[in-house]
């Protein structure tokens, strides 16, 4: 290839890359407002390890059993994200999208070089760049990738996918004699980084070997003779994966020790799951975040039709591989990448997950488009007509899938929307209903939230988290005895649940059963010493007993574990106000309101602190906001009366005292304040 033609090819590929980036940014532009959801919360905002990039050992660590545990590169990426953008959620979405776009560009390079290579150049020739564009474009905008991109903690999948593709791309470049050592070294580094990102990377060395045999050398013997050192180096990265898995980072959700889900049951069940994935690749509707209710196959007979189809596809793939067919490589890509999550190793928390199709989807898209191109080539059309038709079909597919992606992003705009969507599509999913209940409670729809919890427990009577959440909802509306009953039920099922102990301690405190309450708080602290919620609840119990210094210690530790914890900031502000440390208290209230601006209690407490500081006009502003958010807030009406009285606005003050007294007629303090201001009015 001459320098001019090489320049033109590079310029064309740069333009194609720009199209992929533009398309990806367009379809995901509306995803940046989505919040942290579900597993995001313990792994990102509640994860103290991401707060600093140094020491590096701290930055690559993660909370035990979390989605980042045993995945140091993924953990480090979130520490880097925090260093760049703090807790601004849009920056995490931008980081995820960047990874996805880089993966799309790498896929473009892989497909283009493969189609233009020695084996396939005769068939595809000058069409190779445009077919590569079609594959990478449709894969980038396909809605089946939305879970990996929009659900922030699934960055583990994105990182693994990017490093997987980079490993293959660098290995392909390493087959060129002029720069083999440099590119082969890059392939090994990419493979090692992928192994430290997610376990699915395990199949990458095998795919490099299969690629070389299929597209470069024609036989395993020749491949090993030419590049045996590379394969050994890539296989050596399995040691990284083995060492990370040896400590059992997710032993509570993955493994062979779960009587409720045996390896055989999981394997049988995956036959229907795999066919579901394939259907979604062709028609991605409906897409669902959570498949907790996927039916478990008790034996092979119950899934015989699906198992027969999958076995036939696997057998056909083996036959194609034996024939050294490129289609066999694509089939192996699909099944080998799915194998760690869709074979015989039970993942009890997730029988199915759409993000697992992130990389396998590339094989399906490639096979579909290559098959379509071959079909068109058999029709006696002119070359220009064939190209225009191919461009039109690609544009229609990209536009259709892109629009579906934009619509799917909208489901991730809030906890309430994504879990409402999940329940609507899978009404028998108890976990989705439990999470929808949480989202409804957060929106002050307590009755609706309780209804979702009740239905979740009907579907799964031993669901510990739902008993705890139902207890919290009941406690919030004053039904303490029922709350305690639910917490006790949760502890009967799982005596070592720290949340249940902590929440039970809260409810017992409200009934002045302080000895019992403190015992449960201490047990919660023993079970979950790194939980900011447990620390915050324990601090509240200590504050109830007047043990203010100990409460400050707990709130301070809660904020060390989770600096963006509005309740802990607010509670610490209350204690600091009582200690006369008003400026410190005010700073904590400001931070609490920055994080959670619509909390009437925090506005009221901040207003009270401003009263003590003599900043009456600012106090009025905070207290008016508290009442706007909660019109029947007696304490806020009383405090507003005090502030207005200090400003000489007597009639307004009397009005708010009267409203406070109407809401709380037995309050001696409010009646005394009203009598005092009336006495002041009479003296004027």
Contact 401, 364 (CB under 8 A): no
| pLDDT of amino acid 46 | 84
- pLDDT higher than threshold 90 for residue 684: no
Which residue is listed with tokens 């959700």? 253
Calculate mean pLDDT across residues 410-426.
97
Query: Would you call the peptide bond into 467 cis, given omega within 30 degrees of 0 as the criterion?
Result: no
- pLDDT higher than threshold 70 for residue 450: yes
Which residue is listed with tokens 């498949």? 291
| pLDDT of amino acid 1 | 52
Other beta carbons less than 10 A from residue 252's beta carbon: 13
Per-residue b or e along 502-528, where b marks 16 or more CB atoms closer than 10 Å to that residue's CB: bbbbbbbbbeeebeebbebbebbbebb
- pLDDT higher than threshold 60 for residue 565: yes
- pLDDT higher than threshold 80 for residue 682: no
Cβ neighbourhood burial of 55 (10 Å; 0-12, 13-18, 19+): exposed
How are the residues of the chain apportioned to helix, strand and coil, as percentages rounded to the nearest 5? 75, 0, 25
pLDDT (tens digit, 9 = 90+) per residue, 160-184?
A: 999 999 999 999 999 988 778 899 9
For residues 590 and 613, give the distance between their C-alpha atoms in angstroms, rounded to a whole number: 15
| pLDDT of amino acid 553 | 95
Model confidence at 561, in pLDDT bands (50, 70, 90)?
confident
- pLDDT higher than threshold 70 for residue 273: yes
For residues 428 and 431, give the distance between their C-alpha atoms in angstroms, rounded to a whole number: 9
Contact 71, 201 (CB under 8 A): no
Other beta carbons less than 10 A from residue 605's beta carbon: 25
- pLDDT higher than threshold 90 for residue 250: no
Cβ neighbourhood burial of 260 (10 Å; 0-12, 13-18, 19+): exposed
| Angle of the 72-85 helix axis to the 89-115 helix axis, nearest 10 | 130
Calculate mean pLDDT across residues 3-24.
80
**Nearest in space to 359 (alpha carbons), one of 73, 92, 22, 99:** 99
For residues 358 and 338, give the distance between their C-alpha atoms in angstroms, rounded to a whole number: 10
Residues 6+ apart with CB under 8 A from 459: 293, 428, 429, 430, 433
Calculate mean pLDDT across residues 217-232.
94
Q: What is the dihedral of CA 588, 594, 595, 599, to 10 degrees?
A: 90
Higher pLDDT, 668 or 92: 92
Model confidence at 678, in pLDDT bands (50, 70, 90)?
confident
Calculate mean pLDDT across residues 238-242.
96
- pLDDT higher than threshold 60 for residue 2: no
**Per the structure block, which two tokens stand in for 554?**
């707990």
Contact 607, 587 (CB under 8 A): no
Other beta carbons less than 10 A from residue 29's beta carbon: 11
Calculate mean pLDDT across residues 455-476.
96
**Per the structure block, which two tokens stand in for 164?**
């997987």
For residues 296 and 70, give the distance between their C-alpha atoms in angstroms, rounded to a whole number: 28
| pLDDT of amino acid 425 | 97
Distance of CA 10 to the CA centre of its chain: 37
For residues 511 and 504, give the distance between their C-alpha atoms in angstroms, rounded to a whole number: 11
Model confidence at 527, in pLDDT bands (50, 70, 90)?
very high
Identify the weakest region by mean pLDDT among 172-186, 275-289, 408-422.
Answer: 172-186
Task: Quote the DSSP letter at residue 176.
Answer: S
Task: Quote the DSSP letter at residue 36.
Answer: -
Cα angle 65, 150, 160; round to 5:
60
Cα angle 478, 481, 483; round to 5:
75
Model confidence at 525, in pLDDT bands (50, 70, 90)?
very high
- pLDDT higher than threshold 70 for residue 9: no
For residues 635 and 603, give the distance between their C-alpha atoms in angstroms, rounded to a whole number: 11
Q: What are residue 17's DSSP bridge partners?
A: none
pLDDT (tens digit, 9 = 90+) per residue, 131-165?
A: 999 999 999 999 999 999 999 999 999 999 999 99
The mean pLDDT of the chain is 93
Task: Quote the DSSP letter at residue 529.
Answer: T
**Per the structure block, which two tokens stand in for 112?**
């283009």
Residues 6+ apart with CB under 8 A from 485: 471
Residues above pLDDT 70, as percent of the chain:
98
φ and ψ at residue 270, rounded to 5 degrees: -65, -20
Length, in residues, of the chain:
684
Q: What are residue 347's DSSP bridge partners?
A: 254
Higher pLDDT, 129 or 102: 102
pLDDT (tens digit, 9 = 90+) per residue, 632-663?
A: 999 999 999 999 999 989 989 999 999 999 99
Which of the given ranges, 36-45, 54-63, 91-100, 243-252, has the highest pLDDT on average? Answer: 91-100
Task: Quote the DSSP letter at residue 614.
Answer: T
Residues 6+ apart with CB under 8 A from 478: none
CATH superfamily for domain 598-684: Tetratricopeptide repeat domain (1.25.40.10)
- DSSP letters for 2-22: -HHHHHHHHHHHHHHHHHHHH
- DSSP letters for 202-267: GGHHHHHHHHIIIIIISSHHHHHHHHHHHHHHHHHTHHHHHHHHTT-TTTTTBSS--TTS-HHHHH
| pLDDT of amino acid 122 | 85
Calculate mean pLDDT across residues 20-30.
97
| pLDDT of amino acid 562 | 87
- pLDDT higher than threshold 80 for residue 3: no
**Per the structure block, which two tokens stand in for 456?**
């979740």
Model confidence at 379, in pLDDT bands (50, 70, 90)?
confident
- pLDDT higher than threshold 90 for residue 65: no
| pLDDT of amino acid 344 | 83
- Domain ranges in the chain are 16-410, 598-684
User: 3-class SS at 347?
Assistant: strand
Higher pLDDT, 379 or 73: 73
| pLDDT of amino acid 382 | 73
| pLDDT of amino acid 290 | 97
Other beta carbons less than 10 A from residue 176's beta carbon: 10
| pLDDT of amino acid 64 | 84
């Amino acid at each position: 290839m001459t320098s001019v033609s090489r320049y033109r090819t590079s310029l064309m590929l740069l333009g194609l890359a720009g199209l992929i980036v533009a398309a990806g940014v367009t379809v995901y532009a509306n995803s940046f407002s989505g919040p942290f959801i579900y597993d995001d919360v313990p792994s990102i905002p509640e994860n103290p390890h991401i707060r600093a990039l140094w020491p590096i050992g701290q930055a690559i660590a993660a909370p035990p059993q979390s989605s980042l545990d045993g995945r140091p590169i993924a953990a480090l990426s979130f520490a880097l994200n925090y260093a760049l953008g703090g807790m601004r959620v849009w920056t995490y979405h931008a980081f995820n999208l960047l990874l996805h776009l880089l993966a799309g560009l790498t896929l473009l390079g892989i497909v283009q070089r493969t189609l233009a290579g020695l084996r396939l150049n005769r068939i595809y020739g000058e069409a190779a760049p445009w077919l590569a564009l079609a594959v990478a474009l449709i894969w980038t905008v396909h809605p089946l990738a939305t879970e990996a991109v929009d659900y922030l903690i699934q960055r583990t999948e994105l990182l693994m996918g990017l490093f997987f593709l980079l490993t293959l791309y660098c290995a392909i470049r390493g087959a060129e004699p002029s720069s083999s050592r440099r590119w082969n070294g890059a392939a090994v580094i990419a493979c090692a980084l992928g192994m430290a990102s997610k376990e699915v990377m395990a199949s990458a060395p095998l795919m490099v070997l299969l690629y070389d045999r299929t597209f470069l050398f024609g036989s395993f013997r020749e491949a090993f003779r030419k590049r045996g050192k590379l394969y050994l180096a890539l296989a050596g990265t399995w040691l990284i994966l083995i060492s990370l898995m040896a400590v059992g980072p997710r032993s509570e959700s993955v493994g062979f020790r779960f009587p409720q889900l045996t390896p055989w049951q999981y394997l049988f069940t995956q036959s229907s799951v795999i066919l579901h994935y394939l259907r979604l690749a062709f028609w991605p509707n409906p897409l669902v975040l959570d498949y907790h209710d996927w039916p478990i196959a008790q034996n092979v007979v119950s899934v015989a039709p699906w198992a027969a189809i999958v076995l036939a596809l696997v057998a056909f793939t083996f036959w194609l591989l034996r024939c050294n067919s490129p289609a066999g490589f694509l089939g192996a890509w699909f099944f080998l990448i799915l194998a760690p999550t869709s074979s015989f190793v039970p993942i009890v928390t997730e029988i199915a997950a759409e993000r697992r199709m992130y990389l396998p989807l590339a094989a399906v898209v490639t096979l579909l488009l290559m098959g379509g191109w071959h079909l068109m080539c058999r029709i006696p059309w002119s070359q220009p007509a064939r190209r225009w038709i191919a461009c039109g079909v690609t544009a229609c597919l990209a536009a259709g899938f892109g629009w579906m992606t934009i619509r799917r992003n909208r489901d991730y705009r809030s906890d309430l929307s994504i879990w409402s969507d999940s329940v609507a599509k899978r009404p028998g999913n108890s976990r989705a209903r439990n999470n929808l209940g949480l989202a409804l409670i957060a929106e002050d729809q307590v009755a609706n939230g309780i209804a979702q919890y009740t239905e979740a427990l009907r579907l799964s009577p031993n669901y510990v988290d739902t008993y705890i959440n139902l207890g919290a909802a009941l406690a919030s509306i004053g039904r303490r005895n029922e709350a305690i009953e639910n917490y006790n039920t949760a502890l009967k099922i799982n005596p070592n649940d720290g949340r249940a102990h902590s929440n039970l301690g809260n409810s017992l405190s409200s009934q002045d059963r302080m000895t019992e309450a403190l015992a449960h708080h201490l047990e919660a602290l023993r079970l979950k010493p790194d939980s900011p919620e447990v620390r915050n609840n324990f601090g509240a119990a200590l504050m109830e007993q007047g043990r203010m210094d100990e409460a400050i210690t707990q709130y301070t530790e809660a904020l060390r574990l989770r600096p963006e914890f509005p309740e802990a900031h607010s509670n610490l502000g209350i204690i600091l106000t009582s200690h006369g440390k008003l400026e410190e208290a005010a700073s904590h209230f400001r931070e609490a309101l920055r994080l959670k601006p619509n909390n009437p209690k925090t506005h009221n407490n901040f207003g009270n602190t401003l009263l003590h500081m003599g900043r009456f006009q600012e106090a009025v502003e905070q207290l008016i906001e508290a009442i706007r958010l909660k019109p029947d807030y007696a304490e806020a009406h009383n405090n507003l009366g005090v502030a207005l009285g200090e400003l000489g606005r007597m009639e307004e003050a009397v009005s708010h005292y009267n409203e406070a007294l109407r809401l709380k007629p037995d309050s001696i303090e409010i009646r005394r304040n009203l009598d005092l201001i009336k006495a002041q009015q009479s003296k004027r």
